[in-house]
Amino acid sequence: MGMNLLAQADMIATAGSNGVSVSKHESMTQRAYRIIRADIISGARPPGERLRIEMLKTIYDIGPTPLREALQKLSTEGLVLALEKRGFMVSPLDLDEFSDLNIARIEIEKVALTRSIALGDSQWESRVVAATYLMNKEDAALLASGNGVSDVWEAANAEFHATMIAACGSKWLLQMRDHLQDMCERYRRSSISQSIRKTGDGKRDVGKEHAAISNAVLARDAGLACQLTESHYMKTLDRLKRDLKMVTKPKP
Amino acid sequence: MGMNLLAQADMIATAGSNGVSVSKHESMTQRAYRIIRADIISGARPPGERLRIEMLKTIYDIGPTPLREALQKLSTEGLVLALEKRGFMVSPLDLDEFSDLNIARIEIEKVALTRSIALGDSQWESRVVAATYLMNKEDAALLASGNGVSDVWEAANAEFHATMIAACGSKWLLQMRDHLQDMCERYRRSSISQSIRKTGDGKRDVGKEHAAISNAVLARDAGLACQLTESHYMKTLDRLKRDLKMVTKPKP
DNA sequence: CTTTTAAATATTACCGATAAAAATAAGGAT
DNA sequence: ATCCTTATTTTTATCGGTAATATTTAAAAG
């Protein structure tokens, strides 16, 4: 009847890392969406690149219909631009939009953080402690071997910040933050600041910043936690902004 | 060659009221997306309704491919649920999600309002004055003829609140607010509280609330403006929540 | 009454036809 | 002679039809 339909809908809605469910028998549309999305964010499909169906068909071995559906979805998200009667292209990078994106991301993060600190229970606190522990460890490892950030560090960092706001009480707030973060990530990855990741970030001690944020959160000092988080993000942002000037198209 | 492509892309991106561009030669996908979206928000397609392609094909006189593309887009937005190998359905209403949605909407609105008050210039101020003038007029007309809210009042109301946050300096923040508002609108319209719209809202003087908000905004008192806006939304929200208990599916 | 089997129904994805836009080539004007 | 305009060609996107696959409904047997 209509009831088990909804029950199974919940199962499907049980999503993976980025709101993308990973079923065994994934539909072609889902598959195309997931892969192309990852390729755009990672920079494998560079900004401004035209996404011709024939071309994608041979690359991903997926038919034209699921490809179009995936691209339409991505255009709703803003990662792809749908040009009337002229197909699709990867959304170009734009320095102004990057500022815009970061403003929105940081503001929403602060709101979520404030709410999380106000609403979080003991179980959430323990999650914070656990994430902080792992983050500390990875930060120390990062500092020791000057090889720059690793994938495990990236994962710990993502988990750290996600945990801080996890108790904000609004899935939509979290979803919007995730979306904005993905959009920002594309700018970060597309920038030539990969070199920065290798060389490290100058005199900056990210570990101390993380520890300070964690302390403020556990002390339930929302104002301080927001302030620290904002400047934490701003530091990397300023660096990126400088580097991005070269890879974004100049304004007309 | 490649350049005017981007230039024209900007033209297409020049959107109408709800981020939906209305071109003369609208593609079938766009058409389907626009119409079905409006039908879902308005309640013409009720929550939980299965959206069978064959059915939609005859109703909207649009082929299956553009219909599927439109439904995929709507599923990205959250208005439609895509069930693996089981087609699409209008996302069911859920009281918890409604709370969630409103939390996010009000929080983002407050952030945008604070920023708008901090950043708005004289031109924005004049827009605020203009919108307030129209709103006042419509509020008075509403109070005089006890016929309940009209479409022109709704338009004035939307414009009023949009103007207050217009100077927030982040298109993404505004876009997310718009999206959340559309999602909330579906709950409002689907509720039986149409009766409330007809009977009026009790002893509540919406005109005074609007005036107070406008004054706080023009006085650049962000704290007060946020507080007033929040309670303004909360008042209608509480009413709605009561009524929605009947139309949303009970939790298992 | 539950479980299994079979028919019908719907969704998914590929293919081909149509139509639109970009590229190229030709002609005329300054 | 060069540049702009116009016409033709080629490429490419869009859309509806259709076959294959999975699922749901219904019926029958245990």
> pLDDT tens digit string along A202-226?
668 899 999 999 999 999 999 999 9
Residue B191 is predicted with a pLDDT of 72
Angstrom CA distances, A88 to A44, B4, B173, stand at 16, 15, 25
* Nucleotide with smallest C1' distance to residue B4 CA: C22
B71 sits in which H/E element = helix B64-77
Q: Does any strand C atom come closer than 7 Å to the Cβ of B85?
A: yes
> pLDDT tens digit string along B92-108?
999 899 999 999 999 99
| CATH fold of the domain at B16-90 | Arc Repressor Mutant, subunit A (1.10.10)
Cα distance between residue A234 and residue A236, in whole Å: 6
Residue B194 is predicted with a pLDDT of 55
> CA A214 → C1' D27, Å?
63
Residue A228 is predicted with a pLDDT of 97
Range from A101-105, B93-97, B192-196, B214-218 carrying the lowest mean pLDDT: B192-196
Q: Which residue of A7, A83, A173 is in closest CB contact with B104?
A: A173
- Rg of chain A over CA atoms, in angstroms? 20
Is the CB of B73 less than 8 angstroms away from the CB of A75?
yes
- Across chain B, mean pLDDT equals 85
Instruction: Assess whether pLDDT exceeds 80 at residue A195.
Output: no
Residue A77 is predicted with a pLDDT of 96
> CA B97 → C1' D20, Å?
39
The domains spanning B16-90 and B95-247 adopt the same CATH topology: no
Average pLDDT for A21-41:
82
Pairing of strands A87-90, A50-51: antiparallel
For an interface test with A, the pick among B51, B69, B71 (most A C-beta atoms closer than 10 Å) comes out as B69
Is the CB of B104 less than 8 angstroms away from the CB of A6?
no
> CA A20 → C1' D14, Å?
28
> pLDDT tens digit string along A137-169?
999 998 888 777 888 999 999 999 999 999 999
How confident is residue B18, by pLDDT bands cut at 50, 70 and 90?
very low
Is A72 touching B (CB cutoff 8 A)?
yes
Average pLDDT for A184-208:
72
Is B31 touching A (CB cutoff 8 A)?
no
Q: Which residue of A13, A107, A249 is in closest CB contact with B173?
A: A107
Average pLDDT for B37-63:
91
Average pLDDT for A2-19:
39
> pLDDT tens digit string along A123-136?
999 999 999 999 99
Is B11 touching A (CB cutoff 8 A)?
no
Residue of A101, A33, A43 whose CA lies nearest to B76: A33
Is A111 touching B (CB cutoff 8 A)?
yes
Query: What string of H, E and C letters represents the secondary structure of chain A?
Result: CHHHHHHHHHHHHCCCCCCCCCCCCCCHHHHHHHHHHHHHHHCCCCCCCEECHHHHHHHHCCCHHHHHHHHHHHHHHCCEEEECCCEEEECCCCHHHHHHHHHHHHHHHHHHHHHHHHHCCHHHHHHHHHHHHHHHHHHHHHHHCCCCCCHHHHHHHHHHHHHHCHHHCCHHHHHHHHHHHHHHHHHHHHCCCHHHHHHCCCCCCHHHHHHHHHHHHHCCCHHHHHHHHHHHHHHHHHHHHHHHHHHCCCCC
Cα distance between residue B51 and residue B31, in whole Å: 16
B80 SS3 class: strand
The CATH code belonging to domain B95-247 is 1.20.120.530
> pLDDT tens digit string along B228-237?
999 999 988 8
Is A77 touching B (CB cutoff 8 A)?
yes
Q: Does any strand D atom come closer than 7 Å to the Cβ of B47?
A: no
| CATH fold of the domain at A2-90 | Arc Repressor Mutant, subunit A (1.10.10)
* In chain A, residues 54 through 73 whose Cβ sits under 7 angstroms from any atom of nucleic acid strand C: 62-66
Residue A248 is predicted with a pLDDT of 58
Pair A28, A72: CB distance under 8 Å: no
B50 SS3 class: strand
Angstrom CA distances, B63 to A27, B32, B59, B68, B186, stand at 21, 10, 11, 9, 26
Angstrom CA distances, B211 to A107, B136, B160, B180, B224, stand at 27, 7, 11, 24, 13
Domain boundaries, chain B: 16-90, 95-247
Residue A16 is predicted with a pLDDT of 39
How confident is residue A12, by pLDDT bands cut at 50, 70 and 90?
very low
Residue type at position A41: I
